[in-house]
Amino acid sequence: MRRSASCATRLLAVTIAVLAVVTTTVAGPVPVASASPCPPASAGGESIAWITVGDERVPIKPVTLSRTGALDPPPSNRVAGVSVRHAPLASPTGTSVVTWHMRYGQGCPGRLNDLVDLPIGSTFSVETKDGSTTRYAITGREVVPRGSHRAEWFDQRGPRRLSLFTCAGLMNGRFTKTLAVFAEPVPLDPFLPETPTPSGPVQ
């Protein structure tokens, strides 16, 4: 059972042919203080890929729609989830949908939170289980009210892209908005390091 006190990104999906049109919502209050440690990176089962942002290398686990139509990240701030209903991370075309927790428990910020603040054009990489690595550049962001979405965020027939989602809009102890981060592949340059992670605490 998913912790009721988690910050979860929910994608309510209606699939029409091969194009899934998804409604993104955010559920759950901000986690309350707890003496328990942050959940382990083993949450969610076996990793199928890894995303590296600055110094953070975060495992990605497969996630699917629940009976209520929610697409939640695995129950840990240390991992991300990728939708099995959208383009695989190794696909040459279409959009892969990645989701992560902004926080999961007191003192447990999401390991991908630097994606929220990095400048447009900053790069990160995704390594799949077969060993292939793709570098991506951030092309845009959008913050929308809970339940809002755009169909093009989930395009399965267009150019290769990542759509990454997490919680936003903390108000009265609840996240009321969804943050979408978009990225497109760029050529790998062995002499160009990944964009450095900004210093300072995660807000």
Residue 13: inside a domain, yes or no? no
Domain holding 69, by residue range, is: 24-29+46-186
Phi-psi region of 100 (alpha: psi -120 to 50; beta: other; left: phi over 0): beta
How many domains are contained in the chain? 1
For the chain, give the mean pLDDT. 79
Burial 160-186 (b: 16+ CB within 10 A, else e): bbbbbbbbbebeeeebebbbbbbbebe
- Tens of pLDDT along 100-114? 999 887 889 999 999
Residue 134: inside a domain, yes or no? yes
- CATH number for position 144: 2.40.260.10
Q: pTM of the predicted model, to two decimals?
A: 0.77
> What is the predicted pLDDT for the residue at 145?
83
